[in-house]
Amino acid sequence: MRKILAQIVREVTPQPGMKNPLSPQTLQDIREAFALISTRERELMKEAGESVRERPRYADEPKATQTVQAPTSKRKLDS
Protein backbone atom coordinates (compact mmCIF):
# COMPACT_ATOMS: atom_id res chain seq x y z
CA MET A 1 0.00 0.00 0.00
CA ARG A 2 2.86 2.36 0.89
CA LYS A 3 4.55 1.81 -2.47
CA ILE A 4 1.35 2.46 -4.42
CA LEU A 5 0.58 5.64 -2.50
CA ALA A 6 4.18 6.87 -2.88
CA GLN A 7 4.07 6.20 -6.62
CA ILE A 8 0.84 8.21 -6.96
CA VAL A 9 2.38 11.09 -5.01
CA ARG A 10 5.48 11.04 -7.25
CA GLU A 11 3.37 11.07 -10.41
CA VAL A 12 1.19 14.03 -9.38
CA THR A 13 3.95 16.10 -7.77
CA PRO A 14 4.34 19.23 -9.92
CA GLN A 15 7.61 20.66 -11.18
CA PRO A 16 9.07 23.51 -9.09
CA GLY A 17 7.09 26.70 -9.58
CA MET A 18 3.93 24.92 -10.76
CA LYS A 19 0.72 24.69 -8.75
CA ASN A 20 -0.03 21.41 -6.99
CA PRO A 21 -3.13 19.77 -8.52
CA LEU A 22 -4.16 18.31 -5.17
CA SER A 23 -6.22 20.23 -2.64
CA PRO A 24 -4.77 20.97 0.81
CA GLN A 25 -7.27 18.51 2.32
CA THR A 26 -6.14 15.76 -0.06
CA LEU A 27 -2.51 16.44 0.84
CA GLN A 28 -3.38 16.17 4.53
CA ASP A 29 -5.29 12.92 3.89
CA ILE A 30 -2.23 11.48 2.12
CA ARG A 31 -0.01 12.42 5.10
CA GLU A 32 -2.46 10.74 7.46
CA ALA A 33 -2.58 7.62 5.26
CA PHE A 34 1.23 7.37 5.37
CA ALA A 35 1.09 7.78 9.17
CA LEU A 36 -1.49 4.98 9.47
CA ILE A 37 0.61 2.70 7.27
CA SER A 38 3.71 3.40 9.38
CA THR A 39 1.84 2.75 12.61
CA ARG A 40 0.52 -0.57 11.33
CA GLU A 41 3.98 -1.59 10.09
CA ARG A 42 5.43 -0.90 13.56
CA GLU A 43 2.63 -2.95 15.16
CA LEU A 44 3.32 -5.88 12.85
CA MET A 45 7.06 -5.70 13.50
CA LYS A 46 6.47 -5.65 17.25
CA GLU A 47 4.14 -8.68 17.03
CA ALA A 48 6.76 -10.52 14.96
CA GLY A 49 9.41 -9.75 17.59
CA GLU A 50 11.46 -7.58 15.27
CA SER A 51 13.18 -4.44 16.44
CA VAL A 52 11.42 -1.24 15.44
CA ARG A 53 14.78 0.59 15.49
CA GLU A 54 16.26 -1.51 12.68
CA ARG A 55 16.63 0.23 9.37
CA PRO A 56 17.08 -1.41 5.99
CA ARG A 57 20.54 -1.11 4.51
CA TYR A 58 22.12 -1.73 1.15
CA ALA A 59 24.32 -4.80 0.71
CA ASP A 60 27.32 -2.62 -0.21
CA GLU A 61 26.74 -0.17 2.65
CA PRO A 62 29.53 -0.33 5.24
CA LYS A 63 28.53 -1.79 8.58
CA ALA A 64 28.51 0.48 11.62
CA THR A 65 30.59 -2.06 13.55
CA GLN A 66 33.45 -4.31 12.59
CA THR A 67 34.26 -7.72 14.01
CA VAL A 68 37.90 -8.12 15.00
CA GLN A 69 39.67 -11.37 15.88
CA ALA A 70 41.31 -11.11 19.30
CA PRO A 71 44.80 -12.60 19.47
CA THR A 72 45.10 -15.75 21.58
CA SER A 73 47.91 -16.34 24.03
CA LYS A 74 49.88 -19.59 23.72
CA ARG A 75 51.36 -19.49 27.23
CA LYS A 76 49.64 -21.06 30.21
CA LEU A 77 48.48 -18.95 33.10
CA ASP A 78 49.93 -19.73 36.54
CA SER A 79 47.41 -21.28 38.90
pLDDT over 70, % of the chain: 87
Tell me if 31 is assigned to some domain: yes
Full domain range(s) for residue 33? 1-10+22-52
In this prediction the pTM is: 0.59
pLDDT value for 77: 63
User: Does 39 map to a domain?
Assistant: yes
Number of domains in the chain: 1
For residue range 29-58, what is the model confidence (pLDDT) as tens digits?
A: 999 999 999 999 989 988 888 776 767 777
Q: Is residue 78 part of a domain?
A: no
Question: What is the pLDDT at residue 52?
Answer: 67
Q: What are phi and psi of 69, to 5 degrees?
A: -80, 125
Residue 79 belongs to a domain: no
| 3 in any annotated domain | yes
1-5: Cβ within 8 A, 24+ apart: 1/37, 2/34, 2/37, 2/41, 5/30, 5/33, 5/34, 5/37
Instruction: Please report whether residue 44 resides in a domain.
Output: yes
